[in-house]
Structure 1
Amino acid sequence: MATENTTPKQACNVTGRCSSTTPPLTSEDIDANLKTHPMWKLGADSISITRSFTAVNFMAAIEFFNKAAEVAEKHGHHPDLHLTNYRDVEVILTTHHIGKLSEFDFAVASDLDAIEVRYSKKWLKENPTTTPP
């Protein structure tokens, strides 16, 4: 997990959680954030970001989910986590309170990217540029 707190101050209220007053990102802001988060893609709905990968096995996928749960609790901002074919992982982030993307989504994405993942060797070969630097 990342050691620095990446929670943006303007995106959450005093309880540390998003609210209906969380400011949405502009399309320009989203594009700029995606450039600094190469493992994430804009969702087909344009109101979410997604990250997908294949873990080496079921336990590696579950280990990622457990660490992702810790990140989500730290931020008070919870992604949708999907596991299919026993090791294919998909993470979806959006700010549900506003039905759009906020800086909060990218703060959580940054901390999720810091989680060490045991990727499938085949997936790594097919996606050499989508893993963290």
Structure 2
Amino acid sequence: MSADDLRSQSCGGQCGKDTPKLSKEEVSELLPAVPDWAANEERTSISKAFVAKNFKAAIAFFTEVMEVAEAEGHHPDLHLTNYRDVTVDLSTHAIGGLSKYDFVVAAKIDAVPTEYSPKWLREHKAKLAAS
């Protein structure tokens, strides 16, 4: 499944205790569609972290993510430290793990315009090229 495939889907606020929980294998299969995200060791959440250009850029990103989350009815945990270090965590809280909806929202968050720190962006691209 590609990021475009995921973005074409919707959560529709359907997450609840009956939402199907993904297996570790299913999580591993979906991760390549959202390459900026990493799963925790237990495969119960995915996270994306970056350094924004400045405080204003970080808050603008959060505002756009809020719009995505509200439209989907699926809300990530947002963290801002050191005024521009951003982390986004996704999981389906009702099931204590990951569902396909987490990947749908992750793909939509990846489409949010983001002003990255130029230094972070250079280092990130170099790291990706080395992998």
Which bracket does the TM-score occupy, shorter chain normalised? 0.7 to 0.9
Q: Following TM superposition, by how much is the alpha carbon of 1:36 offset from its aligned partner in structure 2, in angstroms?
A: 1.1
State the identity %. 48
Q: Following TM superposition, by how much is the alpha carbon of 1:5 offset from its aligned partner in structure 2, in angstroms?
A: 4.2
Q: Following TM superposition, by how much is the alpha carbon of 1:20 offset from its aligned partner in structure 2, in angstroms?
A: 0.4
Q: How far apart, CA to CA, are the structure 2 residues paired with 1:45 and 1:104?
A: 18
For the pair 1:92 / 2:127, whether they are aligned, the reply is: no
Question: Deviation per CA, 1:57-80, whole angstroms, max 9, x where unpaired?
Answer: 000000000000000001100000
* Counterparts of residues 1-133 of structure 1 (less than 5 Å): 5-7=8-10, 16-128=13-125
Counterpart code for 2:48? R
Q: How far apart, CA to CA, are the structure 1 residues paired with 2:111 and 2:102?
A: 15
Question: SS in structure 2 opposite 1:111?
Answer: helix
Question: SS in structure 2 opposite 1:91?
Answer: strand
TM-score by length of 1: 0.86
What runs of 5+ residues in structure 1 fail to find an aligned partner?
Answer: none
Q: How far apart, CA to CA, are the structure 2 residues paired with 1:96 and 1:121?
A: 34
Question: SS in structure 1 opposite 2:28?
Answer: helix
Q: How far apart, CA to CA, are the structure 2 residues paired with 1:102 and 1:65?
A: 22
Higher helix content, 1 or 2: 2
4+ runs deviating over 4 angstroms: none
Q: How far apart, CA to CA, are the structure 2 residues paired with 1:42 and 1:21?
A: 22
Q: Following TM superposition, by how much is the alpha carbon of 1:107 offset from its aligned partner in structure 2, in angstroms?
A: 0.4
Question: SS in structure 2 opposite 1:97?
Answer: helix
Q: How far apart, CA to CA, are the structure 1 residues paired with 2:83 and 2:41?
A: 24
What runs of 5+ residues in structure 2 fail to find an aligned partner?
Answer: none
